[in-house]
Amino acid sequence: MKRILMIAVMLFGVISFANAQQGGQNRGGMGGVSPEERIKRQTDQLVEKLKLTDDQKTKVTEIFKAQGEAQMKMREEMGQGGDREAMMAKMQKITSDTETKINALLTDDQKKEYKLFLDQQKQNRGQRPQGGGPQGGPRN
């Protein structure tokens, strides 16, 4: 009996350790996309929507890279236990700063398109289901 209990405890420990090593790779809004892929996707979206020049594209990529690094740092701090409300406020500030920096690079016409793009993104975000579980309706 002790042997079975010991094996169960060891198995639980190994599974817990393996899950901790994954560190939330399967979580997040981009479905496990690497930071580089996310930056490329975000930049490509703006290039298409705003008709960015090569110079603007380079600068926007750097802005998104800095945003990603700042958010990664915030997530690490959150994982170590922190004030969730304060962390969310900091994340919103990082996003706001990113939008301001990008806006500063744009022409007047691009700024109008960028505002429309951001408004659409915010509207879409509000329509997504909340929570990390499986999506779907109630089950009978």
pLDDT at 24: 47
d(CA 1, CA 74): 46
139 domain-assigned: no
114, 60 Cβ separation under 8 angstroms: no
d(CA 130, CA 140): 21
Confidence of residue 25 (pLDDT cuts 50, 70, 90): very low
d(CA 64, CA 66): 5
pTM of the model: 0.65
135 domain-assigned: no
34, 93 Cβ separation under 8 angstroms: no
* Total of domains in the chain: 1
10 domain-assigned: no
Please state the rounded mean pLDDT for residues 7-22. 56
What domain range is 47 assigned to? Answer: 32-115
Q: Which tens digits make up the pLDDT trace of 63-109?
A: 999 999 998 888 887 777 777 888 888 889 999 999 999 999 999 99
Q: In this predicted model, which residue has the larger pLDDT, 121 or 21?
A: 121
5 domain-assigned: no
Please state the rounded mean pLDDT for residues 41-59. 95
Alpha-carbon distance values, 35 to 63, 67, 95, 97, 118 (Å): 13, 10, 16, 19, 20
Spell out where 40-84 has E strands.
none
107 domain-assigned: yes
1 domain-assigned: no
140 domain-assigned: no
75 domain-assigned: yes
Among 59, 53, 95, smallest CA distance to 74 is for 95
pLDDT at 14: 57
Q: In this predicted model, which residue has the larger pLDDT, 136 or 115?
A: 115
